[in-house]
A and B are shown apart, each in its own frame.
Chain A
Amino acid sequence: MIETPLPPMPTLQDPEPDEPRRPHERRTVRAKEALVTLLVALGLWALLFAPALERRAETGPVGARRTVALAVLRPLTAVSDSLAIGRASEAVMRAFGHDPEAPPGGELDLSGFDLPPLPPIDEEVQPERPSPPRGSDPSPPPRAGSDRGQDEPTEPQPTPEIRTPAEDAKLRVAVVGDSLSQGLGPAIASWFDADVARVLPLGRQSTGLARQDYFNWRLAMRKIEEEFRPDLVFVMLGSNDNQAQVTPDGRDIPVGSVEWVQAYRQRATEFLREATSNGTHVVWVGIPVVQEHWRRDFYRRVNEIYEETATADPLATYVDAWELFQARDGSYSAYLRNERGVLQQMRAGDGLHLTPTGYGYLARAAIRAAAAAFDLPQRAVTFRI
């Protein structure tokens, strides 16, 4: 590295003004020509990509930026469609393996995972929990005995245990949610014993429950149930949901309104119902205390919704990550003591996400919650529950 001088850097030498151009030399251009080229390139690209750009803009947070983007992109898409450019570009996108009709957040694809064969649903998983119908209605009806959507009081249900895994019948675990779950997923995977458990980290950044037009976790959960049929699902989301919800008919529900809370609770309930429909156990992990004060009220509110939703279902339990990551005086701190009393940096610089150490700590807490609620066997994990 050090003794031999670095090679000369020809890019630093300005060309001589009167240097004659050699036949195989690149032609340089004037600034105006370069500007025209840039504008043509970006303009044509925008025309080619207009439908996709418009879909992305539609699923962005409701506000001035989205309004302006749509005001620009809708006419552009119309021009693109009228010239049949949109159709041609969609064909190209399909050729590249992208579905132009898919929501901008994409669709969950489990084909990349080497999934084990599905276990028989009725005998092994939840004999007392009938499988809901898989019809055209995306919302399965409430189950008998569930308190959701029912006026009559409910009987407390026995909490079924998670089966004991074996090498030839591995425990199936999925971790779903937003970028928080993308950190939690690998940590959960690292604490399960790979010999007896198959963990799929399926988190997707920028997702949540507020914008199903961007990514629909309920439909994704259905796919996970159908193709993977997990024994246990860890859920952690909500960090992107401090925004207006958009209904399927395109109506905005402003954040902070009573209607927003009702709609959000409904989405959380439907999501959990989908997750537990085959007898799958769910550990719903709340959002940890955050550094910025102005965010706290919102996250506390959605945490309450998650807790109420999870505790109402005998197949679900809730982990209070808010409290878990508070300092002794209840404040936010990036540095906390782990189970052995060692101080560690648990929080990332943005005051919301966790460090890998923090995710490991949270993963152990979440797994212990599964053990307490569903008798997750010690055999499944590599640390003492």
Chain B
Amino acid sequence: MLFPTTDFAIFFVVVFALHWALNPHRRAWKWFMLAASYAFYAWWDWRLVWLLALVSALAQLGAMWVESQDDERRRMRRALISAVGLLVPLAWFKYYGFFALSLANAFDSIGLSAPMPLLQLVLPIGISFYTFMAISYVVDVARLEVAPAPWLDVFVYLAFFPHLVAGPIVRGDELLPQIRRARDPGRIDLSRAAYLILGGLFKKVVVSSFLAAQIVDPVFGAPEAHSALETLVAIYGYAIVIYTDFSAYTDIAIGTALLLGFRFPENFDRPYSAISLRDFWHRWHMTLSRWLRDYLYIPLGGSRRGDVRTAVNIMITMLLGGLWHGAGWTFVVWGGLHGGGQVIGRLRRRRRIERGLPPDPVSLAAVFRARVVTFHLVCLGWVFFRADSIASAFAVLSRLVRGWGEEAALVTPLVVLTIAAMLLLQNVPTAPSAARLQVVLSRAGPVLQGAALALVLFAITSLAPEGVAPFIYFQF
């Protein structure tokens, strides 16, 4: 079920009413929310619901096994084994085809038959997200940061529909206590939730759809047929498309959770205002970033074992972070670019400190320069992220060199204005007017608030094209 559909609107109103009706009766509520979340998931493909249940069961079994061990080292070893077990379904569905095909062609080149059968496996939606949440739960139990929760709570934690498909990646200590305790029906932050949901809808169905259809898809689909200017604007456009698309999903997820009385962590903080790649990862997909930090980078040794080992750890973390998005060399390059960029950035910071300078630029001109450079590095990474092969990525990049002076019919004033406006919004502090708007809205009565929301929703649906594409991050 897609968020920006009437199906979801009807589903949510029903769930909202029953959620609050059953809220005081926790056991009944948990069964209800589990059923609703599984129905939400089954709307895409009911045949894969069992996998979600299997991962939930594996997580709970792993947590119980881990918790039964008093010795910390053995507990961590059990956590590692459990995490590997949880990664098996993800590896099977996401990476088997890639490795089997690579092996088949390698064996083919020396005249041998393929050692593994080539299977087409449908990637279950959301598997990367709920697998990472399951691992975080087991590891947190091993670290004694979270106590093993009842079976039903763990199943609801992993399946809770607002975050199920594309995050944010919510940790056990954030969500399990909220599942355990009844939500407060007297303190619903409606105006903030409405702001997030409608803002997310606008970003997805108006901005992202417009730029994708107008310039990004045509140029990335056939770069040879487009000029350098079109290619450059399409790359900037993709930076906006992926941000508006993914942050829209997160905003709607956070907003719907808020209406149910749940609080999720933020996932984005104006990522294109970053002054370095390190800063970018403090602002982009923040819940994945902290997951990689807490469950991969720090266990690898973090920055505690010298410069070389730190650089290796950063590279491993970012390369695996790239591969988390999919099995493909383009994601490896994307992760490598971000890892390499952070290693170089770390050396530059060190050198500045040694010269008695502040680690990050301070003056307005230097901050502006750092933002521009970082944005373009991020855009370079997006080219590989968006392309279906390394060759396609280079085909796009080569147009930036060869295609100047040709006509640029796709670069319309509206395309340029949309991209410029979205970038400008990234580079101004959070507008106080947005907060004030929410306060004003919250003071109105339900009829007036409802009417205002209806008008905004009407404007968004009137601007939307027919047939909005699924969220980009569904494929990860």
Contact = CB atoms under 8 A, between A and B. Distances in A.
A199 B226 CA distance: 11
Given A6-B286, A349-B123, A38 B105 contact: no
Interface residues of A, number: 77
A42 B225 contact: no
Nearest to B177: A14
Nearest to A116: B407
Size bin of chain B's contact surface: 35 or more
Contact of B289 (A6, A28, A34, A49): A6
A199 B293 contact: no
B303 interface: yes
A35 B454 contact: no
Interface in A63-97: 89, 92-93, 96
A32 to B, nearest CB: 8
Given A41-B453, A49-B458, A190 B225 contact: yes
Interface string B101-123: 10011001000001000101111
A110 B168 CA distance: 40
A199 B280 CA distance: 38
A355 B101 CA distance: 14
Contacts of A355: 388
A294 interface: no
A144 interface: no
B156 to A, nearest CB: 18
A349 B96 CA distance: 14
B136 interface: no
Nearest to A342: B105
B281 to A, nearest CB: 3
B451 A40 contact: yes
A33 B118 CA distance: 55
Interface string B222-241: 11111000000000000000
B427 interface: no
A228 interface: no
Given A347-B120, A355-B388, A205 B293 contact: no
B186 A30 contact: yes
Nearest to B119: A334
Contacts of A335: 101, 104, 118, 120
A89 B458 contact: yes
B317 A194 contact: no
> Which of A15, A42, A334 counts the most chain B CB atoms within 10 A?
A42
B186 A1 contact: no
A112 interface: yes
A42 B6 CA distance: 10
Given A14-B263, A98-B462, A333-B120, 18 more contacts: A3-B303, A30-B185, A34-B16, A37-B450, A37-B453, A38-B16, A40-B446, A40-B447, A40-B454, A44-B450, A53-B6, A89-B458, A96-B462, A189-B224, A194-B225, A194-B226, A344-B101, A356-B392
19 contacts: A13-B263, A24-B436, A26-B439, A26-B442, A28-B187, A31-B186, A35-B20, A37-B449, A40-B447, A40-B449, A41-B450, A42-B9, A44-B451, A106-B465, A185-B222, A190-B221, A201-B221, A341-B108, A343-B114
